[in-house]
Amino acid sequence: MDFKRFEVAFNLLLKDKCNIFSFIEEEDGFGIFKSEKKLVQKDIPCRVSYSLGYGTALDSQSDGYASELDQKVKIFLPSGIEILAGSEIEVIGRGYYILASIPRVYEFHQEIILKNKIDFA
């Protein structure tokens, strides 16, 4: 089976671009470590998917009503991109998101469920 054809077809679906920021610890001249946000990947091809679900009483952000709508945001990226836990992803033209799950890496791509940064402000 020619898997290269599947990879080419998947890459055609990546219509958006994103920048990935990670918090990197750096030592100043006095031996004190500070964590600073730095751009680690730029203009990575991606695809964003939005889906709606219903909140449940067990959901930490739900007020307990089953009728509460819950939007899930998932991003699809090429599998060769390394993303650290706690990274921030800026989808160009759509806004900032915070990495919310461990990437699920497959043969040709990876999927990550995101949380909107505004929800944490």
- DSSP-assigned letter for residue 60: T
Domains of the chain by residue range: 3-26+47-120
Q: What phi, psi does 83 have (nearest 5°)?
A: -125, 125
Q: What phi, psi does 118 have (nearest 5°)?
A: -60, -35
CA 72 to chain centre: 11
pTM equals: 0.75
In tens, the pLDDT along 35-90 reads 888 999 999 999 999 888 665 444 455 555 544 567 788 999 998 888 887 789 99
CA-to-CA distance for 30 and 117, rounded, in angstroms?
A: 33
User: What CATH architecture applies to the domain 3-26+47-120?
Assistant: Beta Barrel (2.40)
